[in-house]
Amino acid sequence: MKKASLFLAGFLLLAGCSDDEATKEPAESAGTEEEPEIAVEQEGMTEEGFITQIGNGRILINSIYFSVPEDVEVQFAEGGETTEAVISDLRTGMKVKTDYTGPLAESYPMQGEADKITILQDEESKRQTDALQAFINEEQLSDLIILGQPLVRGEEIGFLFSKMETGELTEVRIDMNTLEYTLSNEENEEETDETEDAEE
């Protein structure tokens, strides 16, 4: 009888220990589930693109407005070398790389704050900048939003853009040698299709 009692007591003791272990495991796994929430801060984000608006203490790069604090770091970069620059060196049409801390405000355009702005001065970036500046000046565009990343094919740079006032979506292709460009949008394509149908 004593043996049976000792066996039962030992069994209950083991069962109690295993219950303790079982309750510890969920607590540990619950702790690991919280870790991704900390990573949502999105530090060290970068946006590369073209400045299409400057004013009121902010710049528009692609489809993101970045506020530019007075103490923001600005630099020129050519190859691996960088030199100091200032906010007043920024120009519409310039190709830049902007470092910022996310997340961005959910608006259109999205909004964030620039930590560092690097003006790209390599030969290819300069050619792209010249082409975009010539296009903006010729078309007198002051509210241009570039959608996505511009594509470079050979000697041509192309991208989709919209005007803030109208929201009209247009594609432009600019020859980086001659600075000549062609525009096309959905309305033009529809008119072309209608003309071709009428001719047939």
Element (H, E) at 133: helix 123-139
Sign of CA dihedral 102, 108, 113, 119: positive
Q: What is the pLDDT of residue 107?
A: 87
DSSP string, 69-130: -TT-EEEEEETTEEEEE-GGG--TT-EEEEEE-SPPBSSSSEEEEEEEEEEE-SHHHHHHHH
Task: Find out whether 49 and 61 touch, Cβ atoms under 8 Å.
Answer: yes
**pLDDT tens-digit series, residues 129-177:** 999 999 999 998 888 899 888 999 999 999 999 988 888 899 999 999 9
Q: Which residues pair with 73 in a beta bridge?
A: 116
Q: What is the pLDDT of residue 164?
A: 82
Flag whether the pTM goes above 0.75: no
Which residues of the chain are under the pLDDT cut of 50? 1-15, 17-40, 188-189, 191-193, 195-196
CA atoms of 157 and 159, how far apart (whole Å): 7
- Return the closest-CA partner of residue 129 out of 140, 138, 121, 117: 121
